[in-house]
Structure 1
């Protein structure tokens, strides 16, 4: 990457993500991480070291949300765009339901990379789902993998258990153990983990078995200082406020004033999602129980965006309902505001500045706070802060000296800290000035990007050779994006079994034309047996290995399976049920254990009247979905209905955008029949089995006169597969 501008791909899959009018707080998935990734991507895209930043998210076409989320490409600037990729349909769904569709997302991202003819230099995953996508792409393309967790499953599971939720219910709703497993895999393979605080490394990542494997870098999030400028700028004649900002200020004041009997009092402001962990109830109780505080100030809680509380998620509904009940219990009418909506782009900065102009304070007493982006937003506008003594606020107040830390479970301590900030004007001014200056020094996207790019440079060259996920020696993904032709052959009695001199000639052709076409095998053997046969016969290492009659795909490195294919064929596959249904057929004999696979059930079956029909009847009567391959009058393989050699090849054609008309397939027996049919360039070698006789005369299938490897060479000539 030295002396080369960087192409960075970032992945933030879930939630509602767009550049303008971000809907932060609309739901649990559209929180601070949305703003984080957009602003980071925008800042990086402005750097001279960066050629382009693409921020990938999910494409959503749902009447419940804006049509903006259905645009495939959102061009933010010449060097920054938001790319939306469809997976799991187009309906908006919460992040926990997206896990089964991420392999589809990965496959379509590979197609995007192929079409764009631009392989990224860095992939950066945000949140575990984005991390999984980035990890898989890193493996394919041999590029560094960076991860930012934002929040982690292990920590969430502990808190939910502490709240009394049963583990089974946690997994049912949040798929938490699956998420934790993904996070362990990410930690095992990441080249760099970016965190916001040191405490995040110790107390969150430290819970994982693989916590000591990656390299960490603490890089706090930044802030757009042009948006979150100090409140006193508005008092200066030379400062010209934009009309839209004036309108936003008027809207904020109008919305708040309709709640308050005395709107000129200092304002205690909270801004967060309606989540139990945000401890909104603790703040309301602190305010409601302290009559002196009520006399001094008003309270405003902006808890997300809502229309009808009854239609919201259970957690959000419970929090908002409790807010209303507490407001009523402490009779806070005229003293407390709970607005239903707010605009994050224009109104939130004005809300901070308006609160500061009243001599107010910003409060975040969440039970846990990984960072606290709203704290630095408020501070940049000149608001003193009262914050939980857990997580990110500790670093913020240490760096900025702009407020007070409190125990979020101590109601009286919260009230006392707020009163101290509001009542002591000298202290208020000190915290206000310190916050403004501290944010400028420690929390800008410019400073963040400076350190980020320094860390990225460490991942280049020799420092990256030991990366846990890199396949630096000609990564298969980079190779496949360059190829438009592929030779894929069966192994037994097609590639091997004939004269050695013919095989030697074929090996020479494959090696001499490596830059012209890829080489793959499609076999009934399992992976180990296939690789053993290839090594024994000194065949070149294939780019692609389709094994077990098409029920598995691996790439050059045997440890590198195509998980997208496995996810694709797993649909409606029930191996145990099929085996149980076939127990009563005496003419079937299970093959040896080494022939069995997760997605392949293999039997010996001699020819006999209606035997195949009886197998079909047994499975169809139980509504099984399956695919049967019977070959050489002996081998019966039962696969998922989506699996076969031919379907695997067509899947690879789709995924890597290799035209089917550029793929030549060679075989000799019945388990090759399905891959020989269709739009591929089929070659039947001269020593074929009688079961392929029926293919004679079909378009696109060439019957070679020569046998084994010589027949493959003849097929290459027939299709003029080798240029020149």
Structure 2
């Protein structure tokens, strides 16, 4: 990776993303956003002041989709690549089912960043799910966060409610309320929000409580004018296009002509996903009800890619079925073409030019269109447009003066607008020329990247500088700090770190002297508040990592940011209410105080008796409860999720931050430290240990110091050469 220039990570989590042969329209998740982020990545990477662009998406290994989506790294230009991160398993799934897996993507992207050797200068999230991942990483690394929403949940919910769906139905299908909450937080957190139009701010973002806190910049996307060149270019320049373009024209003409009785007529073109909101039925109805329009022009609708309608999801299947029924109702055989597939990279640009050559018109009748990228593509080819008045087309037609806005709910208005352009050749020519000329002025990737990089430079300059001092290093964003260090020290608090003030005051300066290569943390049975309290009482600066409540909670640095990925990881099959019910019947157990109970910890007092401990295990196992049990100091019994423990928390940190277990030293004195002392870490047991750890003597990689408390930690650091060289 180049070291000079800005390093940008783009996040587009859902859908099918690959560098070539895009499957746009295959499903509701693989639409214009996929093309947008790919072209943005390439355009940014072409800039001299950009070092690298990584487009982060989900890795998919599924027989139902191409093996292309299982490739972890796919270069798409010299300085741009698609990076695929596995989360939520390997099967392809719709975006609404990904919410519970996004913290896994955060963790694995973090690991990727650590291994790559450079922290991104900016995280740019696309759509709500990509925004969530980018925002979490930006917070962890203290880097700027930029967001492009594409389509916002609150506006979608408003539309669906107006169509008669209930809130319960909408949430069941789209998890919309959770999405709206995430988007509202993103608006508050993002240093910059890119929108394509002013309409997007006024009609979509204004629906959120944090609307006023957002930093908005109108920055419409560009198109590749080398691909979407004017329809007349091949007639004037024999070198315009290549053999694949000419072949695409032949294929398209053959496909369209098999539907039409009079292929010499102009044609009306629509190109979109088979989605109710795209209002394909409204366009067919407008055409079917207008005999004059049918006499003037044919109609061609390219509604995504399909094989068997019966096997498609409900939304797509219903739309395509309605198309066929309307075709039959209005007897549009010989006039309406509905091809089953098309190639977006080659055939679509040629399709626009074919339509323009016929003196046709491009129609976007969507109920709402956040932006309208296909409208710009059509305009660049010289094809006049008719488009919905709700959304981005208002800005496009205001900028380009290349078509007519319509109310998509009024079929006569759609038909009249089409006829007006089709029968008036002077108007058609004016709209055609305006589109070609003004798209290059308003909608180029070059101007988009200018605005993007200017915004990035601005937000980077506004980030607080971190002084190169001990205090500055401690206050560095935890992500950047943990990305740089090579070793980790984790210690229990009571009777290990704390217990002898004199040796503690020797240890702390030693840790500070090694701060640039060694991060350190504590692991304790105490809750967070009690942990902070005891550290402050002994004048211990807040460490980099705090593992609290017997390994069920992880917090970071000065801000005490919780590790959400750990919470989601240990929540799997955790049933605290069942545990409390079943163990509550055992008279020898006494529930600990309410403040000692935590979401992932059920705690009791129990006398030191092996038979009683065996009875607890028996009850939990009979009831098929998966759990992890910790008994310590002869009285404290903690029931945790089976995925949680001090040791598992440390292994999770090792994985997440890409610090090998061999470079982690753990220190303890009692039974609740056993899980973190075992394994491939460098274990240190202080001389004042309790009898539960006696069984660990002689085990590999566990050093029993002859020094107590913090002096034992110092002894262990020297024993394992953790405060010597880097190696």
Report TM bin, short chain.
over 0.9
1:158 maps onto 2:147 in alignment: no
SS of alignment partner, residue 459 of structure 1 = helix
CA distance in 2: counterparts of 1:461 and 1:404, whole angstroms: 43
SS of alignment partner, residue 405 of structure 1 = strand
CA distance in 2: counterparts of 1:462 and 1:130, whole angstroms: 23
CA distance in 2: counterparts of 1:266 and 1:472, whole angstroms: 69
User: Which residue in the other structure is 2:132 paired with?
Assistant: 132
User: Which residue in the other structure is 2:279 paired with?
Assistant: 279
* Equivalent residues, number: 718
Matches within 5 A, 1:287-366: 287-366=287-366
1:489 to 491, 500, 523: 491
1:477 to 476, 479, 500: 479
User: Which residue in the other structure is 2:469 paired with?
Assistant: none
CA distance in 2: counterparts of 1:405 and 1:465, whole angstroms: 49
User: Which residue in the other structure is 2:596 paired with?
Assistant: 595
CA distance in 2: counterparts of 1:677 and 1:434, whole angstroms: 72
Segment drifting more, 568-577 vs 164-173: 164-173
CA distance in 1: counterparts of 2:84 and 2:675, whole angstroms: 35
CA distance in 2: counterparts of 1:299 and 1:225, whole angstroms: 26
Contact 1:666 1:682 in 2 (8 A): yes
Contact 1:142 1:471 in 2 (8 A): no
Contact 1:139 1:471 in 2 (8 A): no
CA distance in 1: counterparts of 2:399 and 2:316, whole angstroms: 33
User: Which residue in the other structure is 1:635 paired with?
Assistant: 636
1:625/1:463 Cα in 2 relative to 1: closer, same or farther (>3 Å)? closer
1:420 maps onto 2:431 in alignment: no
CA distance in 2: counterparts of 1:297 and 1:123, whole angstroms: 48
1:717 Cα deviation from its structure 2 partner: 2.0
SS of alignment partner, residue 300 of structure 1 = strand
1:526 Cα deviation from its structure 2 partner: 0.7
User: Which residue in the other structure is 2:620 paired with?
Assistant: 619
Contact 1:400 1:434 in 2 (8 A): yes
1:602 Cα deviation from its structure 2 partner: 1.0
1:147/1:472 Cα in 2 relative to 1: closer, same or farther (>3 Å)? farther
User: Which residue in the other structure is 2:682 paired with?
Assistant: 681
CA distance in 2: counterparts of 1:488 and 1:557, whole angstroms: 17
CA distance in 1: counterparts of 2:249 and 2:384, whole angstroms: 20
CA distance in 2: counterparts of 1:660 and 1:305, whole angstroms: 48
1:375/1:297 Cα in 2 relative to 1: closer, same or farther (>3 Å)? same
1:680 Cα deviation from its structure 2 partner: 0.9
1:461 Cα deviation from its structure 2 partner: 2.4
1:471 Cα deviation from its structure 2 partner: 11
User: Which residue in the other structure is 2:376 paired with?
Assistant: 376
1:45 Cα deviation from its structure 2 partner: 0.5
1:445 Cα deviation from its structure 2 partner: 0.5
CA distance in 2: counterparts of 1:160 and 1:238, whole angstroms: 50
SS of alignment partner, residue 638 of structure 2 = strand
1:497 Cα deviation from its structure 2 partner: 1.4
Contact 1:142 1:472 in 2 (8 A): no
1:531 Cα deviation from its structure 2 partner: 1.3
SS of alignment partner, residue 405 of structure 2 = strand
Contact 1:11 1:134 in 2 (8 A): yes
1:146 Cα deviation from its structure 2 partner: 0.3
Q: Which runs of 5+ in 1 are unaligned?
A: none
User: Which residue in the other structure is 1:103 paired with?
Assistant: 103
Residue by residue over 1:47-99, the C-alpha shift from the partner in whole angstroms, topping out at 9 and shown as x without a partner, is 11111101111111212211111111111222111111111222111111111
User: Which residue in the other structure is 1:663 paired with?
Assistant: 664
1:503 maps onto 2:526 in alignment: no
CA distance in 1: counterparts of 2:290 and 2:459, whole angstroms: 54
Contact 2:126 2:150 in 1 (8 A): yes
SS of alignment partner, residue 386 of structure 2 = strand
Could you list the structure 1 runs, at least 4 aligned residues long, displaced by more than 6 angstroms after superposition: none
CA distance in 2: counterparts of 1:718 and 1:276, whole angstroms: 68
Segment drifting more, 63-72 vs 372-381: 63-72
1:217 Cα deviation from its structure 2 partner: 0.4
1:425/1:131 Cα in 2 relative to 1: closer, same or farther (>3 Å)? same
1:398 Cα deviation from its structure 2 partner: 0.4
CA distance in 2: counterparts of 1:221 and 1:720, whole angstroms: 54
Residue by residue over 1:357-416, the C-alpha shift from the partner in whole angstroms, topping out at 9 and shown as x without a partner, is 000000001000000000000010011100011110000000000000111111111111
CA distance in 2: counterparts of 1:186 and 1:303, whole angstroms: 33
Contact 1:45 1:53 in 2 (8 A): yes
Contact 2:389 2:408 in 1 (8 A): yes
SS of alignment partner, residue 123 of structure 1 = strand
Segment drifting more, 327-336 vs 585-594: 585-594
Matches within 5 A, 1:402-417: 402-417=402-417
SS of alignment partner, residue 23 of structure 1 = coil
1:557 Cα deviation from its structure 2 partner: 2.9
1:532 maps onto 2:528 in alignment: no
Residue by residue over 1:198-243, the C-alpha shift from the partner in whole angstroms, topping out at 9 and shown as x without a partner, is 1111111111111111211000110100000000102114544310
CA distance in 2: counterparts of 1:515 and 1:408, whole angstroms: 61
User: Which residue in the other structure is 1:36 paired with?
Assistant: 36
1:193/1:462 Cα in 2 relative to 1: closer, same or farther (>3 Å)? closer
1:722 Cα deviation from its structure 2 partner: 1.4
SS of alignment partner, residue 546 of structure 1 = strand
SS of alignment partner, residue 269 of structure 1 = strand
CA distance in 1: counterparts of 2:288 and 2:244, whole angstroms: 35
Contact 1:465 1:472 in 2 (8 A): no
CA distance in 2: counterparts of 1:98 and 1:314, whole angstroms: 19
1:693 Cα deviation from its structure 2 partner: 1.1
1:579 maps onto 2:580 in alignment: yes
Matches within 5 A, 1:384-463: 384-462=384-462
SS of alignment partner, residue 16 of structure 1 = coil
1:83 maps onto 2:49 in alignment: no
User: Which residue in the other structure is 1:67 paired with?
Assistant: 67
1:260 maps onto 2:260 in alignment: yes
SS of alignment partner, residue 459 of structure 2 = coil
Residue by residue over 1:610-638, the C-alpha shift from the partner in whole angstroms, topping out at 9 and shown as x without a partner, is 21122112221221111110001111111
1:471/1:9 Cα in 2 relative to 1: closer, same or farther (>3 Å)? farther
Q: Which runs of 5+ in 2 are unaligned?
A: 467-471
Q: Using structure 2 for the length normalisation, give the TM-score.
A: 0.97
CA distance in 2: counterparts of 1:465 and 1:290, whole angstroms: 65
Residue by residue over 1:423-454, the C-alpha shift from the partner in whole angstroms, topping out at 9 and shown as x without a partner, is 11111001111111110110111111111111
